[in-house]
Structure 1
């Protein structure tokens, strides 16, 4: 199982302040690379392209499934559809998952977070 780093970069949810140049800004901090925005905090995510989105790389999301209603998956600058096995995995855990390009996913995450929704995001960094 792929687990996030031993400690979150930030220990609670926070909006995406900006993205691009291979990383993200959040909570006054910056990170190069992809990130998971989970109820437990913001974690590094080793995925660099949509083909790397698997049940294994999404295991940290499933571990927090009880606190997540919606998962937004930012697939970089490419369009990508969830494979059937991932759709089934999310359905089993009662998570509604949506894919879009990273910018759109980050913006939607911010709106839903502000609304107090049970939202998480898996965002691939873009240049």
Structure 2
């Protein structure tokens, strides 16, 4: 990888394998650091749940890649507006697609945050 970002090796069974280590539940990756993310479904995705993304700021996060779970749904208007006001882009898709795209984009050295709802 061009950066020191974790790789998403696998997903499913209620969690992820990142750079060889199992992480239970949803995961938030900001500034190349993975952390537990207490969002179990789309209803839990709020502006507050993304506080670490906003705290990192535009210099560290060009855009947020959202894995919305088993199927792609649009995030709330509040989330979309908050990201826009912070000058950050947004890409959202189902979690499997987001996991694959995350690996490609980090290999290219892109500055992004990933918020992935576990399957």
With structure 1 as the length reference, what TM-score do the two structures score?
0.85
- Structural mapping, 1:8-87, within 5 Å: 13-66=5-58, 67-87=60-80
Alpha-carbon distance in structure 1 between the residues aligned to 2:115 and 2:25: 12
Aligned length: 115
Q: Which of these residues, 99, 104, 108, is aligned with residue 106 of structure 1?
A: 99
Higher relative contact order (CA 8 A, sep 6+): 2
Whether the aligned pair in 2 keeps the contact of 1:13 and 1:38 (CA below 8 Å) is no
Is the 1:76–1:125 Cα contact (8 Å) retained in structure 2? yes
- What is the root-mean-square deviation in Å for CA atoms of aligned residues? 1.2
Could you tell me which runs of 5 or more consecutive residues in structure 1 were left unpaired when the two chains were aligned.
1-11
Cα shift readout 1:107-127 (whole Å, capped 9, x = no counterpart): 11111000001111000110x
For structure 2, the 5+ residue unaligned runs are none
For residues 81 and 45 of structure 2, the distance between their equivalents in structure 1, rounded to whole angstroms, comes to 14
Using the alignment, how far apart are the partners of 1:98 and 1:108 within structure 2? 10
TM-score, with structure 2 as normaliser? 0.91
